Amino acid sequence: MHDQHTLTARIAGLGTFLPEKILTNKDFERMVDTSDEWIMSRTGIRERHVVGPEESVATLAIEAGRRAMADADVSPEEVELLILATATVEQPIPSTSAIIQPALGVKNATCFDIAAACSGFLYGLHIARQFMVTGEVKTAMVIGAETLSRYTDYTDRATCILFGDGAGAVVLKPAPSGEGILRSALHTDGTYADFIQMPGGGSKYPPNVKEHIDARLPFIKMRGNETFKVAVRAITEVCQEVLVAADVRVEQVDLFIPHQANLRIISAVGDRLGIAPEKVYLNLERVGNTSSASIPLAMQEAIDRGVLKRGNLVLMGAFGGGLTWAATLLRW
Ligand code: UT7
């Protein structure tokens, strides 16, 4: 029941979806000058799921959203807010959340998209929580969905091996303080905007100009090594920030679910935070970097494998294009 003493939001249901098609490191050995050994040792990724011709970011998001509503046992009409985080929109106009609204049946929901790249899911949780804190909304859905494969340059060995497609959704309900989301923090530094970007396809380099396509502008570009260094520092700091704000010691955290970008980034962050390696959840070996879908996908796997249990204190940290970074501490 929602009442005026509601002070936060809790995750009432979770649903995810991964497309069937898989690209392995062996497949990349045939596409670019790389090796399974290089990819595993530099990233920790072995395979990633990618969409087939009939799929798109909307089809992935719809399936994850339906599963989340079933898991939460809420009817579509109850959902008053739908926030979709994606860096790979269905089309520029209208929003992807509006496009998927009818299929989800969430006809009473205000729908909008947010662009915070790999931090998008944690940005979405934070925003949805604000609507609950004010009492404006009683049931919200946050979806992180990506089809990065549609914007990946499969001739660029430094980026193409990283990305995968997928979607994860949660249904949020109001909760008393001390349950659900305990604390979260969001940050942005646009001076690093060119570290991870897709220059083409927008207002500056419109998609309808052949030269822009020939120059491979509508593809994801990344200054990987520089991004790596900022990522380690930023995720560590924002995680420490929420732990301090919540007055929680790192030893009290039961599970750390980081954005799954690179095993070496995650290990470095875990070491700096002082979190035992067995408390760090990893699934990037099986899904690669799925940007805004990465944390809910990892969360679902952790539940399915019995690693994430009711009552656990969970820390989540993410980092991505913007640059953006964010952390959320929650009681599961
Ligand atoms: O999702 C959130 C944001 N994204 C990230 O957090 C990603 C952050 N960055 C990374 O994960 C890493 O920087 C990469 C995995 C992308 C690259 O690893 P790195 O250790 O930073 O490698 P590097 O870019 O410094 O490149 C080292 C060498 C280069 O060769 P030279 O110049 O030393 O001869 C690259 O050309 O590795 C080469 N290289 C490859 N070799 C084989 C780059 N990609 C590959 C590849 N296979 N796929």
Task: Give residue-wise pLDDT tens across range 64-115.
Answer: 999 999 999 999 999 999 999 999 999 999 999 999 999 999 999 999 999 9
Nearest CA to ligand 1 atom 20: 42
User: Which CATH number goes with the domain that contains 121?
Assistant: 3.40.47.10
Dmax (CA) for the chain in angstroms is: 60
Question: Quick one: pLDDT band at residue 10, thresholds 50, 70, 90?
Answer: very high
Testing ligand 1's pocket by substitution, the residue of 23, 31, 42 carrying the most ligand atoms inside 8 A of its CB is: 42
208 in catalytic set: no
Angle at 225 between CA 224 and CA 231, to 5 degrees: 85
Interior CA angle at 25 toward 262 and 308, to 5°?
Answer: 45
Domain count, the chain: 2
Note the pLDDT tens digit of each residue in 215-226. Answer: 999 999 999 999
Structure token pair of residue 38? 């290089």
Please pick, among 118, 126, 262, 283, the residue that the annotation labels catalytic: 118
pLDDT in tens, 249-302: 999 999 999 999 999 999 999 999 999 999 999 999 999 999 999 999 999 999
Instruction: Tell which of 149, 177, 205 closes a domain.
Output: 177
Residue 2: pLDDT band with limits 50, 70, 90:
very low
Asked if the peptide bond before residue 218 counts as cis, ω within 30 degrees of 0, the response is no
| Residue carrying the six token digits 């990946």 | 152
Domain of residue 304: give its range: 182-331
Task: Name every protein residue with a CB atom under 6 angstroms from any ligand 1 atom.
Answer: 34, 38-39, 42-43, 118, 157-158, 161, 196, 224-225, 227-228, 231, 261-262, 265, 289, 319-320
Residues 229 and 168 in one domain: no
The backbone torsions φ and ψ at residue 177, rounded to the nearest 5 degrees and listed phi first, read: -55, 140
Are residue 157 and residue 253 in the same domain, yes or no?
Answer: no
Contact 241, 314 (CB under 8 A): no
The chain-wide mean pLDDT, for the chain, equals 96
Q: Which of 49, 259, 262, 283 is catalytic?
A: 259
Residues 216 and 194 in one domain: yes
**Residue 143 shares a structural domain with residue 214:** no
Tell me the angle at which helices 294-304 and 120-133 cross, rounded to the nearest 10 degrees.
80
**Residue 259 annotated in active site:** yes
Residues 238 and 204 in one domain: yes
For the chain, give the percent of residues with pLDDT over 70: 98
Tokens of residue 201, six digits:
């396809």
Are 158 and 193 in the same domain? no
Q: Which of 177, 205, 239 is the last residue of a domain?
A: 177
The question of whether 289 is a catalytic residue gets the answer yes
Domain closes at, from 145, 177, 209: 177
Is residue 3 a part of any domain in this protein?
no
Take residue 223 and report the two structure tokens written for it: 């200054």
3-state secondary structure of 285: helix
Judged against a pLDDT cut of 80, whether residue 209 lies above it is answered with: yes
48 shares its domain with 138: yes
pLDDT, mean of residues 46-70: 98
**Is residue 173 domain-shared with residue 191, that is, in the same domain?**
no
Specify whether 164 is located in the same domain as 18.
yes
pLDDT of 3 strictly over 70: no
Q: Is the peptide bond before 323 cis (omega within 30 degrees of 0)?
A: yes
Assigned domain for 275 exists: yes
Report which protein residue has its CA nearest ligand 1's atom 45.
158
Dist. CA 180 → ligand 1 center (Å) = 37
Residue 6 has pLDDT above 80, yes or no: no
